[in-house]
Structure 1
Amino acid sequence: MKVLTVDDEPLILSGLVKIVQEVAPLGTEVRKATNAYDALDLMKDYLPDVTITDLNMPEKNGFELIEEIKLGGWCDRFIILTGYDEFEYVRRALRAGVVDYLLKPIDKGEIAALLGRIREELPNESDTDYSCHAKRLLTYIQIHFRRDLSLDDLAEQMNLHPNYISSLFKKETGHTFINYLNMLRIQAAQELLMSNSELSVSAIGQQVGYDSKHYFSKVFKKYTGTTPGAYRNNQ
């Protein structure tokens, strides 16, 4: 299991990391970030299973950080750590879909129980059903990537929890579900751009799963470094 801890106060962060390393399940890897921007840079490659974040940080608060992480598809589980016991914070945390809301100073037993529960939710390669789930999921997305797919769609189709699917994708492919889906779509778009000169860029985008031409061009450039039109002209 991979854990990312985020707090802008160095002493608190060091203490948090020490506690997590002490009580987390065996084999847990723990990394730390001193602010929201460091956290965002780190997690794009680290892809933690759970992020423990402070709420009150100067660059971005914890809720803003969680929103951006979710948008990027880099982590699905969050534990909020704060010194403020206010109902509005609790309500916002619930709306953000966090695993739990913990008050400082941290309780070792409480964080140990939380991390243990999260570890049980993660896919385990030794489970007899793991390879079957992995094969079914990857085969399904390779066949249906042109559809409007989401983790919830896959969860319903496969009768699995969205968090399990997200973790399985990371473990099997090294990519988040969103990145894996986009890579399949952009690869298919590249093939169409080279082989079907009569199709417009917009039509190709729609064929590979993007309703918006602008969004298709934006994603295409992110993964290839160029626009669909320029890619076609340079072939």
Structure 2
Amino acid sequence: MKVLIVDDEPLILNGLVKIVGEVAPVGTEVREALNAPEALEIMKIYMPDVTITDINMPEKNGFELIGEARSEGLCERFIILTGYDEFEYVRQALRSDVVDYLLKPLDKEEIAALLERVRDELPAASDSEYSWHAVRILAYMQTNYMNDLSLDHLADRMNLHPNYISSLFKKETGDTFVNYLNSLRIREARRLLKTQGHLTVCTIGQQVGYDTKHYFTKVFKKYTGITPGAYREGEQATEENDEGDGQ
């Protein structure tokens, strides 16, 4: 099991890492981060099974970290650990569907039991089962990338846990679910922009899975460095030059 602990107080963080390392199930790997942005970067490589996070942190708070991590398919299970026993925090934690809400100082027996429960809930699969699931999921995405896909949708479709699918993606592709999906879409968009001159940029964006031209342009530029329109103009200019050279 892989655990990530996030707290902006170095001394507290070191203490949490030590305690969790002592009481976590055998074989548990523990990593740490001092803030949400650092945690998100670690998650992209580490893909933790559960993240233990403080709430009050600079730049992004714990709830913002949870929301962003889930939207990018980086982690599904979260345990909130805070020094504030406030009703509003508890209510927001419930809305965020966290595993549990714990108060500092950390109780060793409490966290030990909680981590044991998390480990027991993790899906177990042999290498052959893992590969079989990977083939199914990747094949499904190849033919349905233009639809409204999400980890939850895939989990329901494949009868698997979203966190399991996140780990599978990282192992099989070296990438996150969101990046893999966007790469599929942008690759097809580039093909259409090059070959379907009668289609508008907006139409092509919709055909590959983006509802609005603005969002399509934003994602396309992120993955290629230029806008869809500029990409199409560049391809047309290249074709004209090739034709000129051939005359």
What TM-score, normalized by structure 1, do the two folds share?
0.89
Answering whether residue 159 of structure 2 is matched by residue 155 of structure 1, we say no
Instruction: Give the structure 2 partner of residue 13 of structure 1.
Output: 13
Answering whether residue 46 of structure 2 is matched by residue 46 of structure 1, we say yes
Structure 2's unaligned 5+ residue stretches are 236-247
Q: 1:171 to 1:122 in 2, by over 3 A?
A: farther
What TM-score, normalized by structure 2, do the two folds share?
0.85
Separation (CA, whole Å) in 1 of partners of 2:201 and 2:28: 45
User: Computing the radius of gyration over CA atoms, which structure comes out larger, 1 or 2?
Assistant: 2
Partner secondary structure for residue 19 of structure 2: helix
Partner secondary structure for residue 67 of structure 1: helix
Answering whether residue 82 of structure 2 is matched by residue 98 of structure 1, we say no
Instruction: Give the structure 1 partner of residue 245 of structure 2.
Output: none
1:1-235 alignment runs, 5 A limit: 1-124=1-124, 126=126, 129-235=129-235
Separation (CA, whole Å) in 2 of partners of 1:195 and 1:139: 24
Separation (CA, whole Å) in 2 of partners of 1:36 and 1:145: 30
Is the contact between residue 123 and residue 130 of structure 1 (CA under 8 Å) also seen in structure 2?
no
Structure 1's unaligned 5+ residue stretches are none
Is the contact between residue 17 and residue 32 of structure 1 (CA under 8 Å) also seen in structure 2?
yes
Separation (CA, whole Å) in 2 of partners of 1:116 and 1:141: 33
Separation (CA, whole Å) in 2 of partners of 1:151 and 1:186: 19
Is the contact between residue 7 and residue 53 of structure 1 (CA under 8 Å) also seen in structure 2?
yes
Is the contact between residue 54 and residue 82 of structure 1 (CA under 8 Å) also seen in structure 2?
yes
Is the contact between residue 74 and residue 166 of structure 2 (CA under 8 Å) also seen in structure 1?
no
Structure 1 window deviating more from structure 2 (118-127 vs 87-96): it is 118-127
Paired residues, number: 235
Partner secondary structure for residue 51 of structure 1: strand
Partner secondary structure for residue 3 of structure 2: strand
Separation (CA, whole Å) in 2 of partners of 1:193 and 1:183: 15
Separation (CA, whole Å) in 1 of partners of 2:26 and 2:180: 29
Alpha-carbon RMSD across the aligned residues, in angstroms, is 2.1
Paired residue type of 1:19: I
Separation (CA, whole Å) in 2 of partners of 1:224 and 1:94: 39
Structure 1 runs, 4 residues or longer, greater than 4 Å off? none
Q: CA deviation at 1:17?
A: 0.9
Q: CA deviation at 1:133?
A: 1.9
Paired residue type of 1:109: E
Separation (CA, whole Å) in 1 of partners of 2:167 and 2:41: 19
Q: CA deviation at 1:159?
A: 2.1
Paired residue type of 1:145: Y
Is the contact between residue 72 and residue 177 of structure 2 (CA under 8 Å) also seen in structure 1?
no
